Structure 1
Amino acid sequence: MKERVLILGGGIIGLSCAYEAARGGGREVTIIEKGGFGGQATGAAAGMLAPFSENADQPDAFFHLCAGSLLRYPDWTAAIEEASGMKAGLKRTGSVGVAYHEADLLPLRSRLDWQRAAGSGAELLSAAELARMEPLLARGAAGGIYTPSEAHVEAPRLAAALAEACRLAGIRMIGGAGSLRELALRTSGSGERSVALLTDYSGEHEADRLLICTGAWSGEFEVMFGLPESIHPIRGQICAFDVPDGAVRHMVFSSQAYWVGKSGNALVCGASEDVAGFDASVTEKGIGRLERWSSRIFPFLEGARPKLRWAGLRPATRDGRPMIGALSDHPQVIVAAGHYRNGILLAPATAAAVGELLDGTKPEWIASFSPERFAAAARGGAEAGRNLPMREEFLC
């Protein structure tokens, strides 16, 4: 019999892991989504593939995971496009980091050497070079940094292509399933483990393995398994200005915001972040901040109002790193969640890691991203889990 894999969550991580799990045809894969596939954080993402610009503190395990995932992107998206017959919208524009004060330029200089060693291809730019590369930038910059290896992808198109590739691969896709009502972890007399769950609208499902990819809503599962709740939502507000395609040539980063040109005459600016629980509404304060910074960095936007504005809930963790790994007490359960700002970027690397876990191997680097890494510092998690709809069954 084929191994049955059940995936909760139909965002970019869930879709990527489902596609990987089904490769080779040796597994029967079902993916269950509370709402619609490719929504929530995936649908709101700017799709930047920028590990050197967005994770610039040090070459730690998280940075290497992000940089390695960027290297996977060209072949990964090509395979998805071939499988789906749809375009993912990968654009290798490179990025420009701009500094208007010497204090902002110093961090760019300090990270140059180690990022070059990691394959960034980055180079420092004078004010004149910066103006030649991005003529619409405000004058008076102290300098900048150009990173040619960074890219971006049209996140909604990628999600749609992935969903189609999953369907064509024979993956059972259940959308509009509603909330989880009950979860049972089963152990047979011979020691074999399995799972069963019930949702509001899709009935009961059984599988040999369960993969949790529920983004900002994953904290409830941590509590369910007796772990401290660490994954929480951060609201990210984004807007888009009506700007001709190609007017802004690269992804542009400042100390306060980023800008990336998308097809359809859209210059996307993000992101204004705040803690608002699960409220994904757009606020004048959040978008107003982006408007002000856009006019400072790009003077031609002075007085312009965004043509689009939206918000998404990013799944953050206490240390900013995702959770990827199997649970020690319940090895039939794998967690792939908490990717915060890097869900699009980390999709191929996360999927590859989940594929190895399903195959019975464990990547050496994965210990840094254990879903149980906060448990040693917390107490009482098991007590909290008793009130949630999970039970353990021991079958004869």
Structure 2
Amino acid sequence: MKASVLIVGGGIIGLSCAWEAAKRGFDVTLIERDAIGGQASGAAAGMLAPFYENGEGPDDFFRLCVDSLLLYPDWVREIEAAAGIDTGFVRSGSLHLALHEADRQPLLGRLAWQRAFGARGEWAEGAALRALEPAASPQARGALFSPAEGHVNAPKLVAALETACRGAGVRLVDHAGGLSALEAGSGSFGVRAVTDSDAYAADLAVCCVGAWSGGLAEWLGIRVPIHPIRGQICAFGPTAPRPRHLVFSSQAYWVAKGDGSLVCGASEDDAGFDRSVTESGVGRLVRWGERVLPMLRGLAPVRSWAGLRPATLDGWPLLGPVPRSPNVFLAAGHYRNGILLSPVTAAIVGRWLGRGGGPGERGLAAFAPDRFDRSSAWAEGIPG
């Protein structure tokens, strides 16, 4: 009989792990409390920008992000072929603008160390910058150009993964309700998950419940300090000129999508599980848009929305088997990099499944699910 895997959570991470498990021959069931891809995954702008996200140095998180970017082209092609859905994957390159003289040196410092990790970055200013990105403000003092970065249409990627999973025999259960119990043992005991409406059992389980992961702590026996951060995003209609690249400033980003829209994000605030859009959040994005892309002056967004990003205390995801529940793998807390990190997360989970569970990979200690239990820096005064 096939070994069985239960995926708890139907966002981009859960779908990616289910797809990987199905390809490896497992009997896969995925349960989602609400709609498949209905939380942070469906709301994301779909940026694939490890060189922008990581400016401090080549730490373990930066390397994880770059590894995932390298996997993306083949991973997306495979999913598109299985689903028959175009995911809108574009390697557009990105520009991080220096709007003030003080922005220049940090960006040049970033360029210096990132070149050793495949960034192939360049510094552009003056006429060279205008030729590279005519849509950018003429007030920009320069920009860090990273040609390897790009973006994907997040809702289309979610739809493609869902279709590919169904075609591979994954049982997808949406609107399953929240977990009321998660029982995990070792060996033949396996895992049993109880929701508001049903119970599910499997040999192994992967928990990918995003911003709701904190509720797993009592069952997994470790602290899971993940909390929701609301990200507000807006979209403008077709503009002229149209940005050729991902455009970043210190306060916001802009990405031109294949449907003609220009997506701008993301205003961040701690609002619990409130997904409402606020005038102040979107207004801030509109004001920054007028400064960075002059063609947006006087334009109002045609659409705005918000998603809940699952943030950890240190900004890095929790990736690995749970020490007290060795049949359970925790893949959560990807914050604003869930789309980018989907391929590498799925690959890591796939290798763990292929060994039949148990200890995690060497080199993943920095992302260990129990790291907050082991670190005295987080030992007191922080809710789990």
Q: What is the TM-score of this pair, normalised by structure 2?
A: 0.95
How many Å apart are 1:179 and its aligned residue? 1.2
Partner of 1:310: helix, strand, or coil?
strand
Q: Which residue of structure 2 aligns with residue 69 of structure 1?
A: 68
Partner of 2:55: helix, strand, or coil?
coil
Distance in 1, Cα, partners of 2:270 & 2:136: 31
Distance in 2, Cα, partners of 1:124 & 1:221: 45
- Once the two structures are superposed, the pairs formed by residues 23-38 of structure 1 within 5 Å of their partners are 23-25=23-25, 27-38=26-37
- Once the two structures are superposed, the pairs formed by residues 99-248 of structure 1 within 5 Å of their partners are 99-186=98-185, 191-201=187-197, 203-244=198-239, 247-248=242-243
Whether contact under 8 Å (2:185, 2:325) holds in the other structure is no
Q: Which residue of structure 1 aligns with residue 353 of structure 2?
A: 358
Distance in 2, Cα, partners of 1:24 & 1:322: 24
Whether contact under 8 Å (2:240, 2:295) holds in the other structure is no
Instruction: Provide, for residues 212-255 of structure 1, a one-character-per-residue CA deviation record: whole Å limited to 9, x for no partner.
Output: 00000001102432322410000000001112487111000111
Paired residue type of 1:7: I
Tell me which of 284, 297, 300 is aligned to 1:289.
284
CA gap 1:321/1:379 in 2 versus in 1, 3 angstroms? closer
Instruction: Provide, for residues 139-170 of structure 1, a one-character-per-residue CA deviation record: whole Å limited to 9, x for no partner.
Output: 12211111100010000001100000000000
Paired residue type of 2:10: G
CA gap 1:175/1:303 in 2 versus in 1, 3 angstroms? same
Whether contact under 8 Å (2:241, 2:295) holds in the other structure is no
Q: What is the TM-score of this pair, normalised by structure 1?
A: 0.92
Instruction: List runs of 5+ in structure 2 lacking aligned partners.
Output: none
Whether contact under 8 Å (2:179, 2:195) holds in the other structure is yes
Q: Which residue of structure 1 aligns with residue 5 of structure 2?
A: 5
Matched, 1:280 2:278: no
Distance in 2, Cα, partners of 1:263 & 1:273: 25
RMSD of equivalent CA atoms: 1.7
Q: Aligned residues: percent identity?
A: 54
Instruction: Provide, for residues 82-134 of structure 1, a one-character-per-residue CA deviation record: whole Å limited to 9, x for no partner.
Output: 11111111011100111121111111100112111100110000122111111
Q: Which residue of structure 2 aligns with residue 349 of structure 1?
A: 344
Instruction: List runs of 5+ in structure 1 lacking aligned partners.
Output: 386-396
Distance in 1, Cα, partners of 2:339 & 2:280: 26
Whether contact under 8 Å (1:246, 1:261) holds in the other structure is no
Matched, 1:18 2:18: yes
Paired residue type of 1:20: E
How many Å apart are 1:38 and its aligned residue? 1.3
Paired residue type of 2:68: S
Paired residue type of 2:272: G
Distance in 1, Cα, partners of 2:57 & 2:185: 42
Distance in 1, Cα, partners of 2:325 & 2:274: 32
Equivalenced residues, count? 378
Matched, 1:266 2:261: yes
